[in-house]
Structure formats: structure tokens, C-alpha cells
Amino acid sequence: MKTLKSIFLILTCFGLLLSCSKDDVLVEDQAEMTLLKGKSKMKGTRPAVFTVEPNGVDDTQNLNDAFTDAINAGACSVVELAAGTFYIDLIEIRDFHGTLKGAGKGNTVITTIDGLSLDEVNGQNLFPALLKFVGGDVYLKDLSLRSDAENPDWLEGLIGFFGWSQVYEPENSYINAIVDNIEIIGQPFNVGYGLMTGSDSRGLPEGVPFANIDISVTNSYFANCAWYGAVIMMIKKGNVVVGTKKNDGNTFVSPDGWSYGNLGFWHFVNTKISVVGNHFQGQGGRNGGLDLFSAPYLAHHQAAAQNFASVATIEHNTFDVSNFVSAIIINDNRRFEYPEDEPMRVQLKSNRIHTDGNTMALIGLNVDRTIIRNNKFTGNAAKGLLLLGEGDVYNENGLILGNNFSNAIYSVATVHFGVNTRNWTIVGGNLGESVWDEGENNRITGCKNNTRGVALGKTIVDSPDLMRLPMHDLKGH
């Protein structure tokens, strides 16, 4: 949203907060204050609260009725679920500007009924998500979503936040979601993603459009989903926050032996991503604990113009993954289709990365001006950092500074600059085994280099033009 509009809306919320009492059913904290993005119908009255008790059989209609009443009552209304287990069929809520809250993780549980009604959703070419929000401003907190271990019905996600749908388009193709203190536990055989975002369409001949999505996820737990605990994708303009510096990070646990990873970011442009203070854990996966792919399936989507380069900050997270391809995978593969656009900017700093039996600890593909600094690596893998460019795309202009590899064992190399890498700088120190350099004009100082004919001892001041942008990015961090 534009800055002036955001300021106006925050002031609107603040005025409403002052007009309400301090009862706990009112707007409770700063997060809920951000929900009033549209015109409120409350005119100074308290937000309406609609409480739902579980009936132990099928709560679908009761929840639908509560959301209908809350939407009609106006922005900042609350649907409050009592303690207990709610059994529901697929539910889709459109343009909800309010809060869905439970009695706490493990106290309020939403799960599936037997025999989900999937035919209608599949017939409309939509994603089958158990609880789906399309458009609006949604604050979700204090509850659990789980799939039934006995249910054979396949769900793309347990909860989805969509800014656009093939059958319904919200205003500005936009959704804002705040997710706090929830638990999502799937089953590898019946849930793909725990949490998902995007545009609700399995595919269109002209391509699926991206959506405007803002989302914050904090204090939450994701486990046991077949693909990712959460996948945040199909964003053409948005702010994404997964954990912050306030000790409110999330925990992601992948099922043993099979998954794509813990957390995935796919298909995005003009997006700011912050991943801070989270814990990633898994025992075997196809990709990484954290996957950051700017555009894995370009042919599936409509083109989205870039107005500014996407930026990702990954810091103060812990990774404890075994038998993955890599703890972290970063791939700016959008550069294949849009080489004139600005590359994604990525900074990884102050993370703790432990691997056991991995192929790599960190993979960077097709990136430009990535900064990897002050991270601590432990455990073992074939390689610590693998940096590659693919096809005609170079992996270039990056900085590796102040990392600690002294307690890690990598059988091939600590850092491997593969083909199509150039203009990287390593400032050595605790680099462990070696640097294997197959690239061009990479500056390596203070560590072993097993590439014959390349002089050691070059410093970053040998290439001031190369370092200007990375060092500028470091200022203020």
C-alpha cells in the first residue's frame, strides 16, 4: 500500500481504538490496529464479537454464519472460537476485515470432517485449502490447524491467504494477513503446504496473475507437511515478515525422510522479505530448509513488471537439518526471463547453520550482489557454500565476510565458486578446508585456494568498484 494511504489508515485505526473501551474483546494490540484498511461501519462503536462453540460433528455452517455476521458488522469484527475441536469442510471467506482467534494453540483446534467436498473446488480449477481467505485484512491467532491422520482427502494447504482468485477478484487484488501464535500440523500424505499464499488458480491459458500480498507470521509452529510448512508465493508487490528481532520467531519442522523443505518463497517481484529469528529443523528433504526462488515456473504466470528490486534479509535464524540438499537455497532464476530487470538483493547474516549429511550448507544460484556475513557453520556436508551461475546468467558481485567455518567439516570445499561466477570477494578467517575457484576475477584472501595459478593474498581494496555496492549495502546493518 502507498505510504500516505497507510498513514491515513493507521490513524483511522488509532481513532477507533480511542473510541473503544479497554475490554479485551476490543482491538487488542498494534497488530490488530493494522487491520482497518477500508471504511469502517462501526462509527465509534466497539468491534462486534461472534463466539462459536464446537458441536463435535460438523462446524462448517456455524463458522460460515459467524464470518457472514462479522463481515456485515464492519471492520475489526472478531470471530472467536471457544476451546475444543472444530470439524469443518472447506471454507472460503471473502473480504474479511477482522480477527479470527481461538483459546490458544492446542486448546482450539480446527481439523477436517470425514469426506471433504473437493469436487466443486477442483471443478473450478482452484486450490483445495481447508480454510481460505480471499482479499481483506485478516488477523489469525491463538489456535491450531491439523489434518486428520485417517483422512485420505488431499489438501493443497490447511490455510490459504489469496489476493486474487479465478472466480473472485478482491479490490486491488490485495490481501493483508497477520498470523501469530498458531500451530499447523499436517500429514505427509494429505497436506501439501501448512500455510500458503498467492493467487487461487491451478493454471490459465493466459497465465495466472500475481497478487498484492502483505503477510506477517510470528510465534508459530509448522510441522509434518508433505511439501513445505509454509510457502509464500505469487506476489507482485508486498511486504513479507517471518519472525522479527523481538523473540517471536517461528519453528518449522519437516517430516522425516521426505519433503521439499521447511519454508519456501516462490514467484515474487517488487517484494520485501524478512526472515528473522526462526528455527528450521528436518531429517531429510528434497531441497532446503529455506528455499528462496524468485520464479521457479515462469510459464505458469503472467508477466509482472518490476518497479524495484526484491530484497531479502535472512538473519539470526538457526538451521539444524540432516540429509537435505542444502540448509538454504537461494535462486534468482527470474533473471533468465528478465535479464534487464534489477536482480534480487539478498543478505544472510548472523545465522547458525548446522548440517549433518547434507550435500551443501548453502547454495546460491544466479545471484547478484549477495552478502553472506557473520554466519556460524557447524556439522558436515560435501560443501559449505556452493555458488553457481546457470546458462547465460552469472553469479556475481557478492561478498563473503566474517563467517566462521572452524567447527564444520566439508569433504570437497568450504566455498566452491563454480562456472559462471565472477567478481566475488572472500575475506578469510576460520574458513576451514579450502576454496575451490572455477570462476572469473574472484578475490580470495586469508584462506587456502586449491585453484592452481591463482595468486593468494589479493584484498578487497584491489577492486574498489566491485566493493562499492556491497559495502554500501552493509551500512546501517
Confidence label for 42 from pLDDT (cuts 50, 70 and 90): very low
pLDDT for the residue 431: 66
Residue with cell 500480498: 213
- pLDDT tens figures, 148-181: 999 999 999 999 999 999 999 999 999 999 999 9
Residue 395 pairs in a beta bridge with 421
Domain boundary assignment for the chain: 34-474
Which CATH number fits the domain 34-474, given the four candidates 2.60.40, 2.160.20, 1.25.40, 3.30.720?
Answer: 2.160.20
Residue 41 has phi, psi (to 5 degrees) of -95, 5
In whole angstroms, give the CA distance from residue 10 to residue 236: 23
- pLDDT tens figures, 329-362: 999 999 998 999 999 999 999 999 999 999 999 9
pLDDT for the residue 362: 97
Give the angle 341-347-348 at the CA atoms, nearest 5°.
145
User: Other CB atoms closer than 10 Å to residue 477's CB: what's the count?
Assistant: 12
Confidence label for 9 from pLDDT (cuts 50, 70 and 90): very low
- Going by C-alpha positions, the residue among 279, 167, 290 that lies closest to residue 219 is 279
The fraction of the chain above a pLDDT of 70, given in percent, is 82
- pLDDT tens figures, 262-281: 999 999 999 999 999 999 99
- Average pLDDT of every residue of the chain: 85
Q: How far is CA 179 from the centre of its chain?
A: 12
Asked whether the whole model's pTM tops 0.75, one would answer yes
Residue 439 clears pLDDT 70, i.e. is over it:
yes
- pLDDT tens figures, 402-433: 999 989 999 999 999 999 999 999 986 566 55
Residue with cell 510459464: 299
- pLDDT tens figures, 348-402: 999 999 999 999 999 999 999 999 999 999 999 999 999 999 999 999 999 999 9
User: Other CB atoms closer than 10 Å to residue 476's CB: what's the count?
Assistant: 5
